């Protein structure tokens, strides 16, 4: 496995930095003089996607400007759209969104809407095709020290299949050459984002859609997501209150977990746990995130144990209809004889990076570094949490000094209606985030439409910027959040819509149901030209989503009749067996 690490947004960039330290030369200057190849541990390649130019250009000195050939580099996707171009103006006139906004709108829906506008509005698509498809100006610059084999004459392959989506296409185009899909040598991507801001949370789903829409349904894509902390610690730096950060976080996670052909796994880390461990020091937390991920991404594999990313991705998602959550548990021990049992015990007792109930996991992957016996790991984990040994997959690598393990528990929750009442369960943490997001929406409905409060001075132009959505955009958001009847104060979330879906998810978590997010949601619907079914499949997209809705209904009916338990992702399969 050789990964391309793509950090998105502030926290995503800072954690990616830890993965990208140069192994050979500490000095960037010396490296550039000697034209030394930039070598990271594990030969990881990487890039940082950012929306805030000030953060990228002035507030950090690790990443250079990708457009000037720097490596490792930052890239500002919205720069691809020219200020004042027909496309820029048209999106603003029709919807009110400024596609070049530098990311002060701290929510996931802003970029989701922009992605879906380009995905659905034929007028915008025509303009985008005129400005981008013809002259091919989405092409990235030569990447220093990297292979830049071009697979298409104009650098954007997706256009032959669908309309250009410039911001996300150009982001994919700068990642692609690092991957085996574009002539590079990375056989998988690890996206790193925080769930809680606007850039990382807003970008992660559209960019995965872009990869999948290109027809790359089996290219391994993993997401490492850092859930924003509770309390007000991040409020000032982030200029965003807890409830709002929670809404951004849950929106992004919702989309990730409901996209049936999306990521191969969403690895969740809770900033709350990290900041308690590292006394609110983000830098120390970031270093630890890298350290705990090393057994997955680094090191020489044991002879005969060298699975490519594809095998890992396949095992991660095997048997599931939706992308799974993985909770990482990490432990390290000074090298000793027979460390396996103690490593497992330590990881379970002290190494959980997100609330969970290990006994409820339906599968576990254990990445090891050091002198470790696979059988003993399987026996110890099976004995301590009770899952079958054949549901535990052990992958070993050579280590450095100490022995380390990273246990990835798949979907370690569900089946216990009391779990949400206990601290440090996944149900409890998600219920907390959902209820704070719901409360925030209830108390700040106008924020959902960016009314009044969202403005700031643009550091480039010095002008005050704010968002003023058009009626068209407001109506779409109204329907997205509050369902077909729109917002009525005393009816919040009682019809369909995202608010209702969140309430339902909270209820499922409280009942111990698994999974808890089911139906994909869209703000802008695709036109149903051929079928004439416009409006009939609101919030649904494609065959995958339709099959999920059918799956959901079948499960409800079977559960009502007592044929299957209420929990379990595999319930349709088990129901099919019962019916046979």
Binding mask 272-291 for ligand GTP (x = CB under 6 A): --x-------x--xx-----
Among residues 6, 76, 80, 234, which is the contact residue for ligand GTP, using CB under 6 A? 234
Pairing relationship of beta strands 403-410 and 363-369 according to DSSP bridges: antiparallel
Cβ 365 to ligand GTP shortest distance, Å: 23
387-406 core/surface letters (b: 16 or more CB in 10 A; e: else)? beeeebbbbbbebeeebbbb
Segment 286-315, which members bind ligand GTP (CB under 6 A)? 286
- Non-local (6+) Cβ contacts of 347 within 8 A are 329, 330, 331, 405, 407
Residue range at the interface with Mg ion (CB under 5 A); choices 4-12, 132-140, 357-365, 492-500:
4-12
The 3-state secondary structure of 509-578, one letter per residue: HHHCCCCCCCCCCCCCCCCCCCCCCCCCCCCCCHHHHHHHHHHHHHHHHHHHCCCCCCCCCCHHHHHHHH
To the nearest whole angstrom, how small is the minimum distance from the Cβ of residue 214 to ligand GTP?
24
By CB under 6 A, tell whether 317 contacts ligand GTP.
Answer: no
Binding mask 105-144 for ligand GTP (x = CB under 6 A): -x--------------------------------------
From residue 277, alpha-carbon distances to 24, 242, 355, 358 in Å are 31, 20, 14, 20
Which part of the chain contacts Mg ion (CB under 5 A), choosing from 50-58, 217-225, 291-299, 485-493? 50-58
**Residue (103 or 412) nearer to ligand GTP, CB:** 103
Interface with ligand GTP in residues 561-580 (CB under 6 A): none
Least gap, CB of 52 to Mg ion (angstroms): 5
Sheet holding 188-195, edge to edge: 64-65, 73-75, 45-49, 3-8, 188-195, 221-227, 265-270, 325-333, 403-410, 363-369, 392-397
Residue 158 interacts with, from ligand GTP, Mg ion, none (CB under 5-8 Å by kind):
none
Task: Decide: is 199 part of the binding site for ligand GTP (CB under 6 A).
Answer: yes
Nearest approach, Cβ of residue 119 and Mg ion (Å): 24
Tokens linked to 53: 């130019």
Comparing CB distances to Mg ion, the nearer of 199 and 571 is: 199
**Partner from ligand GTP, Mg ion, none contacting 515, C-beta within 5 to 8 A by type:** none
Phi, psi of 290 (to 5 degrees): -65, -45
Using CB under 6 A, which of the segments 24-32, 61-69, 225-233, 383-391 binds ligand GTP?
225-233
Query: SS3 for 182?
Result: helix
Residue 267 binds ligand GTP, judged by CB under 6 A = no
Residues 32 to 61: which contact ligand GTP by CB under 6 A?
51-52
Phi, psi of 19 (to 5 degrees): -75, -20
Closest by Cα among 265, 258, 252 to 363:
265
Instruction: State the helix-helix crossing angle for 242-258 and 109-120, rounded to 10 degrees.
Output: 40
Query: Per-residue x/- mask for ligand GTP, residues 3 to 32, rule CB under 6 A?
Result: ------xxx--x------------------
Q: Which of 10, 323, 324, 328 binds Mg ion (CB under 5 A)?
A: 10
The token pair that represents 413 in the structure block: 């929750």
Q: In the bound complex, what is the minimum distance in angstroms from residue 208's beta carbon to ligand GTP?
A: 16
The piece of 227-235, 424-432, 494-502, 524-532 that touches ligand GTP (CB under 6 A) is 227-235
Q: Whole-number minimum distance, CB 202 to ligand GTP, in Å? A: 7
8 Å CB contact between 467 and 96: yes
Q: Are 213 and 162 in contact (CB under 8 A)?
A: yes
Instruction: Please count the residues of this chain forming the interface with Mg ion, following the rule CB under 5 A.
Output: 4
Does the protein bind ligand GTP through residue 194 (CB under 6 A)?
Answer: yes
- Judged by CB under 6 A, does residue 268 bind ligand GTP? no
Determine, following the binding rule CB under 5 A, whether residue 77 of this chain makes contact with Mg ion.
no
Single out the residue of 16, 133, 173, 228 in contact with ligand GTP (rule: CB under 6 A): 228
Tell me how far apart the alpha carbons of residues 257 and 564 are, in angstroms, rounded to a whole number. Answer: 23
| 200 near ligand GTP, rule: CB under 6 A | yes
Sorted by sequence, the CB contacts under 8 Å of residue 529 that are 6+ apart come out as none
Q: Phi then psi for 332, rounded to 5 degrees?
A: -135, 150
Q: Are 530 and 512 in contact (CB under 8 A)?
A: no
- Which stretch of DSSP H or E encloses residue 358? none
Which DSSP helix (H) or strand (E) runs through 65? Answer: strand 64-65
Q: Cβ-closest residue to Mg ion? A: 10
Question: Hey, how many other C-beta atoms are within 10 angstroms of the C-beta on 572?
Answer: 18
Structure token digits, residue 454: 């969202």
By CB under 6 A, residue 229 contacts ligand GTP: yes
**Contacted by 194, from Mg ion, ligand GTP, none: CB < 5 to 8 Å by type:** ligand GTP
Q: Compare residues 140 and 197 and give the one whose CB is closer to ligand GTP.
A: 197
Residue 245 contact among Mg ion, ligand GTP, none, beta carbon within 5 to 8 Å by kind:
ligand GTP
Interface with ligand GTP: number of residues (CB under 6 A): 25
Which one of 134-142, 193-201, 403-411, 458-466 is the stretch in contact with ligand GTP (CB under 6 A)? Answer: 193-201
Phi-psi group of 522: left, alpha or beta (phi > 0 → left; psi -120 to 50 → alpha; rest → beta): beta
Cα 264 from Cα 376, distance rounded (Å):
27
Please give the structure tokens belonging to residue 489.
């104060």
- Scanning 222-230, 453-461, 487-495, 546-554 for contacts with ligand GTP by CB under 6 A, the matching segment is 222-230
Sign of CA dihedral 95, 6, 327, 277: negative
Output the smallest distance, CB 285 to ligand GTP, in A: 4
Q: Is 355 in the site for Mg ion (CB under 5 A)?
A: no
Helix (H, G, I), strand (E, B) or coil at 150: coil
SS3 assignment, position 459:
coil
Binding site for Mg ion (CB under 5 A): 9-10, 52, 199
Binding site for ligand GTP (CB under 6 A): 9-11, 14, 51-52, 103, 106, 194, 196-200, 226, 228-229, 234, 238, 245, 271, 274, 282, 285-286
């Amino acid at each position: 496995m050789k990964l391309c690490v793509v950090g998105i947004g502030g926290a995503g960039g800072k954690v990616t930095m830890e993965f990208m330290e140069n192994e050979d030369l500490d000095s960037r200057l010396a490296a550039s003089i000697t034209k030394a190849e930039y070598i990271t541990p594990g030969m990881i390649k990487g890039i940082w996607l950012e929306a805030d130019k000030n953060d990228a250009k002035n507030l950090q000195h690790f990443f250079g400007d990708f457009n000037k050939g720097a490596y490792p580099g930052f890239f500002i996707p919205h720069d691809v759209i020219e200020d004042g171009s027909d496309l820029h103006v048209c999106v603003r006139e029709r919807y009110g969104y400024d596609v070049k906004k530098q990311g002060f709108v701290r929510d996931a829906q802003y970029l989701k809407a922009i992605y879906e506008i380009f995905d659905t509005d034929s007028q915008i698509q025509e303009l985008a095709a005129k400005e981008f498809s013809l002259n091919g100006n989405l092409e990235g610059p030569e990447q220093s020290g990297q292979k830049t084999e071009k697979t298409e004459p104009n650098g954007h392959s997706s256009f032959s299949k669908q309309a250009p989506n410039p911001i996300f296409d150009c982001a994919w185009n700068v990642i692609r050459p690092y991957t085996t899909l574009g002539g590079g040598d990375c056989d998988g991507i690890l996206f790193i984002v925080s769930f809680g801001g606007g850039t990382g949370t807003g970008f992660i789903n559209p960019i995965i859609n872009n990869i999948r829409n290109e027809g790359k349904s089996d290219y391994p894509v993993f997401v490492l997501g850092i859930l924003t902390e509770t309390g007000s610690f991040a409020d000032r730096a982030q200029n965003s209150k807890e409830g709002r950060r929670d809404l951004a976080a849950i929106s992004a996670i919702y989309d990730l977990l409901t996209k049936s052909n999306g990521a191969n796994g969403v690895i969740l880390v809770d900033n709350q746990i990290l900041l308690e461990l590292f006394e609110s020091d983000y830098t120390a937390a970031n270093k630890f995130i890298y350290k705990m991920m090393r057994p997955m991404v680094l090191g020489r594999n044991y002879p005969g144990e060298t699975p490519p990313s594809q095998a890992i991705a396949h095992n991660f998602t095997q048997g599931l209809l939706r992308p799974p959550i993985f909770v990482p548990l990490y432990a390290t021990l000074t090298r000793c004889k027979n460390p396996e049992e103690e490593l497992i015990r330590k990881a379970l007792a002290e190494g959980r990076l997100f609330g969970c109930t290990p006994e409820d996991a339906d599968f576990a992957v254990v990445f090891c570094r050091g002198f470790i016996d696979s059988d003993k790991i399987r026996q110890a984990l099976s004995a301590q949490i009770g899952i079958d040994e054949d549901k535990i997959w052990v992958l070993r690598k050579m280590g450095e000094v100490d022995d380390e393990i990273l246990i990835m528990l798949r979907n370690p929750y569900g089946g216990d209606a009391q779990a949400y009442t206990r601290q440090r369960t996944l149900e409890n943490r998600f219920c907390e985030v959902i209820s704070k997001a719901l409360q925030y929406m209830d108390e700040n409905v106008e924020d959902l439409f960016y009314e009044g409060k969202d403005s700031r001075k643009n550091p480039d132009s010095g002008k005050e910027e704010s968002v003023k959505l058009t009626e068209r955009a407001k109506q779409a958001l109204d329907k997205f959040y509050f369902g077909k009847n729109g917002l009525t104060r005393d009816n919040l979330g009682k019809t369909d819509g995202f608010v209702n879906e969140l309430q339902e998810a909270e209820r499922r978590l409280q009942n111990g149901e698994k999974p808890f997010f089911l139906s994909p949601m869209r703000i802008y619907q695709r036109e149903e030209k051929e079928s004439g079914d416009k409006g009939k499949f609101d919030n649904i997209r494609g065959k995958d989503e339709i099959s999920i809705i059918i799956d959901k209904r079948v499960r409800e009916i079977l559960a009502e009749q007592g044929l299957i338990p209420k929990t379990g992702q595999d319930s349709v399969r088990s129901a099919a067996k019962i019916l046979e």
